[in-house]
Structure 1
Amino acid sequence: MQDRPCTQVAFSEITMMFARMLTLLLLAVAAPLSAAEKEKHVLLLGIDGCRFDALQKAKTPNLDRLMAEGIYSPTALILGDRYRKNDTISGPGWGSINTGVWADKHNVQGNQFKEPRFDKFPHFFHYVKLADPKARTASIINWSPIARYIVSSADVSVDTTNSEKAYDKADADAAAEAIRLLAAESPTALMLYLGEVDEAGHAHGFHPSVPPYIAAIENVDSLIGSVLDAIEKRTDEEWLIVVTSDHGGAGTGHSNGHTNPDILHSFLIVSGAGAQRGKFDEQVYIVDAVPTLLTYLGIKIDDAWQLDGHAVGLKLQQADQATSAK
């Protein structure tokens, strides 16, 4: 058999190469977006008054899954090293969680919100909108002072507090609103607050041995599961979920808990494809939530913001973007 002319061989090879390139291109177009190409979204999930040891005692498959798919600390501190004078209650706690600064800056010392400075140290939504004015932000809560004093730059702000102050129903309504919102538009940044656990602690006691307290944690976990299911339906998005609490508790209270570890310790979970895995080796703080969320979204932390927290628990390529420090 005679050899084919060189031109015929060259043409055949070029044809085959073109076919392979076309096939790869079609596969790339047809394939779902890779994790690196997916839109990034964040959820700050707050569970008021939740002790981590009680969370471990309770049956919490959804929070357990978030920990397994991320990194966590059972001893996140609710007070910093620089400033420790504010009371260990919800106002200062949620002020610090949502702004990333301690109470000497946002100036909420208790639950009265007498002279807050959220104009200078705003809710983290402000920085999300500053980086991208088209970003969608949503806050869904059922402790009204958060919406009244702390939340700003929110495209959606929902308070499900009811006149009976039935926090189990208010939590269910908040979760349902989050699910509705995720189905309708999926915000870039979502803050969801659930208050039933704190209410159960005040009524019956903050301790793993208290059945109503454990039951409240388990009910909240089931609501969280329904929200996670709604997030998982957003297959073209990659979510980072940060979970924390404003304080622990002892007896039926948590005021003046500056030296009580049962009150002073919260917890911090950073979960998602962009998170590390395991347990934090270093001390983390509730003020670390905001810079972690912002850094994940690719927002560079400006020193002028004076954040007290820093990004924690992110995979290396994202953690390298963090520029703030305590």
Structure 2
Amino acid sequence: MKSSLFRISFLAFIQLLVYIVLIFCVVSSCQIQKSSTTKNTIAEPSVHKKVLLIGFDGIRGDAFDVLLKNGKLPNMAKLVKHGKYTMATTSDLTGSWGGWSDVLRGVHRDKHEAGYWGKEGMQNVAPSADHPDFVNTPDLFTRLESHDHSIRTAVFNTWSGLDKILDKPDYRAFVNYETHGDSIMTLAAGKYLREYNPDMTYFYQGDTDIAGHNNGFGPNSIASELADFSKKYRESIIKADKNTGKVLQAIMEREQVKSGRESWLIIFTSDHGATEGGHSQNRVAERYVPFIISGVNLEIYEPYPQINDIVINPKNIDIIPTIFTYLGIPGNSDAWSGLAGHNLYYPTNKNAIAKKLAFNKNLIFNGDAEYDVGFNGHDETIYIGGPKDAERDWDTEGLYWDQSISGWDDWTLSPSKNSMTTVFYGAGEKIMYPKHSNQSNWNRGQNFFAGGIDGESIMTQSIDLSGVLNKSENSLSFELSAYLGGFEDLEDTASFTAIFMDKYGKEINRTVIDGPNASERNNETLLIFKKVTKKVPTGSVKVKFIVETKGKHGYSDNLSFKLKN
């Protein structure tokens, strides 16, 4: 999506009218054909469940947030009013191929293979239809079609690249973004939603990314003022909001919606953010995208898993599981096969994994590395994206999978620190990672944490202790424990730290568990269990946990913090 937009001329205006007529004709004829071939003898439910997935290309989370707070995005504000809004983290493939593959295929790049790290940095490439992993991880529409062919799907798209990511929507409308595609697809989607009956609709807007490339997105760091972002980029997001408003209005005008016979789940996201020079560099501002889950005739409860004061930000791979849960597709059906994300839709006001502070229980979320998918280690990226050539072999020299660890902050920290990743036990071919034990007393699950690029990697998590400590701080102790280790004779290792702070955020005391060096491990690749029990420092209100690695082969697992009374 690198071409420039051209100025509207009289000829372009005529062309616009022709396209509109063509789109309206195609919409009408296509739906007639679909209706005549659909088989559906199942009794009609009292309330029909529908889904609208909205995708704006290249939206920085901070730019969106500033525009929203300044009243520039009234239609997105309506979605927020009737739903939940937060920031999502994308994968390290901060480009359209990888980003939309995450969204629409529900897996990371180890499966959809739409990119890799090379000598020139992140390489976003079109996914290959011949790649076995790509075939075995079908897109959203193929999954829906295979599960129930009576589910009607529609796509309104202005970027041709999506044709390589998507397959089998019942209706696909396309006009290139260079020829007023966003405006034309808005009209087409509105007409379609008024006149026909899709169950799953994907509405895409591409001019936002083009405006950023042509006029600048914004600074390399997170920004907070309107003036921090280029005028044309801001205007493109505002226009996309207006277009979305027209599509939402078409839904509201449906008789089934007016009568309460339809409920709509509406999800909004983007494939990637951007920095001053563009994207595809895995920077914070590129992975920080807006995420809204909302509904019409549908109550949205707190969708983002929360433990204590830790909000587990969604990822774009969570979208398909959320849609399937809402539509009532059983979790044991083939439609779910291979999906890497988690559901964010809860039909009641009881968050599925929420818990309160309790004694003698681990209070750290995702300390066992099991919430996210485990990858195949640092040396295996050369096999994922294509041929084993010199360019991809460069990955073996220290580049990494970086998925953003759920529940931990491992991607907004100092640029001198690297992100962490999750690796499964037994990973590796050239480099053999720690192996899973078949012994009955094995308690470490399938995955463990590892460092990123050679050097120091870090992730942090904090919890509020005030509700417990106010009652019993004089007699309270804690147990801090972890499995820590490294690789053969390398001195790579990991440490686990708990920092106790007062109500002003000032450090009172800290406890550090250092991982074993190569000698302590007898130069073996393994993790060793370590534990410390101490009194909770008086005046503690908050505790911050830090996991740091020295080198990419510093390993950790089963990170635990328990309060003892």
> If the TM-score is normalised by the length of the shorter chain, which range does it land in?
0.7 to 0.9
Q: Determine the C-alpha separation between the residues in 1 that align with 2:333 and 2:151.
A: 22
Do residues 44 (structure 1) and 46 (structure 2) align?
no
Question: What is the DSSP-based 3-state SS (H/G/I as helix, E as strand, rest coil) of the residue aligned with 1:144?
Answer: coil
Deviation at 1:108, TM superposition (A): 1.0
Q: Unaligned stretches of 5+ in structure 2? A: 1-44, 116-123, 219-225, 306-310, 353-369, 373-565
Q: Unaligned stretches of 5+ in structure 1? A: 1-35
In structure 1, the residue matched to 2:214 is 203
Do residues 71 (structure 1) and 100 (structure 2) align?
no
Indicate conservation of the 8 Å contact 1:122/1:150, yes or no: no
Indicate conservation of the 8 Å contact 1:197/1:216, yes or no: yes
- Read off the aligned partner of 1:237 and give its amino acid letter: E
Q: Determine the C-alpha separation between the residues in 2 that align with 1:150 and 1:318.
A: 35
The alignment's TM-score, normalised by the length of structure 1, stands at 0.78
In structure 2, the residue matched to 1:263 is 286
Do residues 104 (structure 1) and 118 (structure 2) align?
no
Deviation at 1:157, TM superposition (A): 1.2
Deviation at 1:312, TM superposition (A): 0.7
Question: What is the DSSP-based 3-state SS (H/G/I as helix, E as strand, rest coil) of the residue aligned with 1:143?
Answer: coil
The alignment's TM-score, normalised by the length of structure 2, stands at 0.46
Do residues 144 (structure 1) and 150 (structure 2) align?
no
In structure 2, the residue matched to 1:156 is 171
Q: Determine the C-alpha separation between the residues in 2 that align with 1:177 and 1:319.
A: 38
Q: Determine the C-alpha separation between the residues in 1 that align with 2:61 and 2:158.
A: 21
Question: What is the DSSP-based 3-state SS (H/G/I as helix, E as strand, rest coil) of the residue aligned with 1:288?
Answer: helix
Deviation at 1:192, TM superposition (A): 1.0
**1:284 aligned to 299, 302, 314, which one?**
314
Q: Determine the C-alpha separation between the residues in 2 that align with 1:173 and 1:318.
A: 41
- Read off the aligned partner of 2:166 and give its amino acid letter: V
Distance 1:122 1:216, change over 3 A: same
Indicate conservation of the 8 Å contact 1:100/1:308, yes or no: yes
- Read off the aligned partner of 2:197 and give its amino acid letter: S
Question: What is the DSSP-based 3-state SS (H/G/I as helix, E as strand, rest coil) of the residue aligned with 1:315?
Answer: coil
Query: Radius of gyration: which is bigger?
Result: 2
State percent identity of aligned pairs.
31
Distance 1:154 1:106, change over 3 A: same
Indicate conservation of the 8 Å contact 2:62/2:288, yes or no: no
Do residues 93 (structure 1) and 99 (structure 2) align?
yes
Q: Determine the C-alpha separation between the residues in 2 that align with 1:325 and 1:150.
A: 26
In structure 2, the residue matched to 1:135 is 151
- Read off the aligned partner of 1:77 and give its amino acid letter: T
The one of the two structures with greater contact order (alpha-carbon pairs below 8 A, sep at least 6) is 1
In structure 1, the residue matched to 2:235 is 215
Deviation at 1:106, TM superposition (A): 1.1
Deviation at 1:297, TM superposition (A): 0.6
Q: Structure 1, residues 276-319: CA drift from partner, whole Å, max 9, x if none?
A: 25877212101111111111111123486111111114333898
Indicate conservation of the 8 Å contact 2:152/2:200, yes or no: yes
In structure 2, the residue matched to 1:247 is 272
In structure 2, the residue matched to 1:299 is 329
Distance 1:107 1:302, change over 3 A: farther
Indicate conservation of the 8 Å contact 1:100/1:307, yes or no: yes
Count matched residues. Answer: 274
Do residues 175 (structure 1) and 186 (structure 2) align?
yes
Q: Determine the C-alpha separation between the residues in 2 that align with 1:92 and 1:239.
A: 27
Q: Which has the higher strand share?
A: 2
Q: Determine the C-alpha separation between the residues in 1 that align with 2:244 and 2:82.
A: 15
In structure 2, the residue matched to 1:18 is none
Question: What is the DSSP-based 3-state SS (H/G/I as helix, E as strand, rest coil) of the residue aligned with 1:241?
Answer: strand
Indicate conservation of the 8 Å contact 2:279/2:286, yes or no: yes
Indicate conservation of the 8 Å contact 1:250/1:262, yes or no: yes
Deviation at 1:189, TM superposition (A): 0.5
Distance 1:153 1:68, change over 3 A: same
Deviation at 1:56, TM superposition (A): 2.5
Q: Structure 1, residues 162-205: CA drift from partner, whole Å, max 9, x if none?
A: 5xx24xx2111111111111122121101111101111111111
